[in-house]
A = this chain, B = another copy of it.
């Protein structure tokens, strides 16, 4: 190998490392957005909620820049098989983080009408969901930074807990709605907010799958049963 191609390979690696760092920072930004969204619900702070919504543009912008960087890197460097996996993972993970940011912004957005109506505030359940989801995202970012497939797999498995908590909270909200029609509108917002948070967990598991593929070159077995029981027939008995 000539020193010329070594030089190219080295700078390819360093560009990839820079990209990974940017993706992790973008991920941390998305977790902060989720935590801020939950915080504004408790404080009923409309202006702060609007700030969270506005911040999402920065995450979208970052994702666009990262995707463009990845594509440019590919076009200039013509990487080989293993490197292609890294690049492919980077693209996927950045897209998942962008969606996590979207969901966090949606939670903040719905907190505005919620704060104007809520005669009942069963938002503790929502806090708990958000804590689980934020922890999942933080852990999967650590796994990505460390290229630790086993750690990623642990995060992937832990999403079941969030799914179960979501299902429980969904049931709880339905009972509030049945008790008093005045609860219907606020609880509808809470249902959507909870669903957004549950989806954040799904994206954390997508990221875990991308890490697994990046490290092992094969896909993680997806035979796990999906645990959002709210669209399963049993739940509907509640409404009979």
Binding site for B on A (CB under 8 A): 67-68, 71-72, 74-79, 84, 87-88, 91-92, 95, 106, 109-110, 112-114, 116-117, 174, 177-178, 181-182, 184-186, 188-189, 191-192, 195, 231-233, 235-236, 238-240
Contact = CB atoms under 8 A, between A and B. Distances in A.
A70 to B, nearest CB: 9
Stoichiometry (number of copies): 2
A153 B99 CA distance: 24
B75 A88 contact: no
A96 to B, nearest CB: 11
A113 B60 CA distance: 35
Given A112-B231, A181-B178, A233-B112, A72 B84 contact: yes
A4 to B, nearest CB: 17
Given A74-B71, A75-B84, A239 B185 contact: yes
A233 B113 CA distance: 5
Nearest to A106: B231
Given A95-B95, A112-B232, 8 more contacts: A67-B92, A68-B88, A71-B88, A113-B232, A116-B236, A182-B240, A185-B236, A185-B240
A116 B232 CA distance: 10
